[in-house]
């Protein structure tokens, strides 16, 4: 695991933290890869469920806005929209006289999937909230600070990859 890598510093607590973080990321990635049945007997992939969620939460936004909210390209959203149309979860809407702007509307199946997703996150978020509120204020503030620092490190990862690649090529 990560504790065998240079930079772990030989600090057992830091190594255990890094190992736990790695397991957490791996579990989250596994959850995101598994398709779900929201009750209609049709498997939906995470990208599809997230698009359904955005369409349900932001029904007055066009595809470009939804793509921006998801952090993906408009082309990626268009491909997912096509799959969800074929599965019967949403439909495209073009305002009269405007063929460039596309909106999406959830069908009845889409609304059920949206409600399933909201209910699922309500349960998961409640469990997480219960765990967090059982901690003291200082522990919560420390966790927030650590997560903020990890976020900054992740933001720097593209640059760090380039630096390490340059260093490795220079050997």
DSSP tally for the chain: helices H, then strands E = 7, 4
Instruction: Measure the CA angle with vertex 18, ends 137 and 134; round to 5°.
Output: 25
List strand residue ranges (DSSP E) for 70-153, in order. 90-93, 103-106
What value does the mean pLDDT take over residues 38-58?
96
Task: Read off the pLDDT band of 6 (50, 70, 90).
Answer: low
The per-residue pLDDT for 41 is: 95
For 35-134, CATH number out of 3.20.20.60, 1.10.10.10, 1.10.3720.10, 3.40.50.970 equals 1.10.10.10
Confidence grade of residue 9 (pLDDT, cut at 50, 70, 90): low
Helical packing angle, 46-57 and 63-70, nearest 10°: 120
Nearest to 37 by CA among 124, 112, 123: 112
pLDDT digits (tens, 9 = 90+) for 100-117: 788 999 999 999 999 999
d(CA 95, CA 115): 26
Residue-level pLDDT at 30:
93
Q: What is the DSSP letter of 91?
A: E
Whether the Cβ atoms of residue 85 and residue 91 lie closer than 8 Å to each other = yes
Say how far residue 91 (Cα) sits from the centre of its chain.
23
Alpha-carbon span 7 to 160, nearest angstrom: 14
Q: How many CB atoms lie within 10 A of CB 106?
A: 20
Instruction: Tell me the pLDDT tens digit for each residue of 52-78.
Output: 999 999 999 999 999 999 999 999 999
């Amino acid at each position: 695991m990560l504790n065998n890598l240079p930079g772990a510093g030989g600090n057992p607590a830091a190594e255990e933290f890094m190992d736990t973080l790695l397991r957490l990321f791996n579990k989250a990635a596994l959850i995101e890869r598994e398709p779900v049945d929201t009750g209609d007997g049709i498997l939906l992939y995470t990208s599809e469920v997230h698009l359904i969620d955005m369409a349900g939460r932001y029904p007055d936004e066009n595809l470009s806005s939804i793509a921006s909210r998801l952090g993906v390209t408009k082309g990626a959203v268009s491909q997912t929209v096509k799959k969800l149309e074929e599965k019967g979860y949403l439909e495209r809407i073009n305002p009269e006289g405007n063929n460039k702007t596309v909106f999406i509307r959830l069908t009845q199946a889409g609304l059920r999937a949206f409600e399933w997703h909201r209910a699922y996150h309500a349960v998961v978020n409640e469990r997480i909230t219960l765990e967090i509120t059982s901690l003291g204020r200082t522990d919560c503030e420390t966790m927030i600070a650590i997560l903020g620092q990890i976020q900054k490190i992740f933001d720097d990862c593209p640059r760090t990859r380039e630096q390490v690649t340059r260093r490795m090529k220079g050997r």
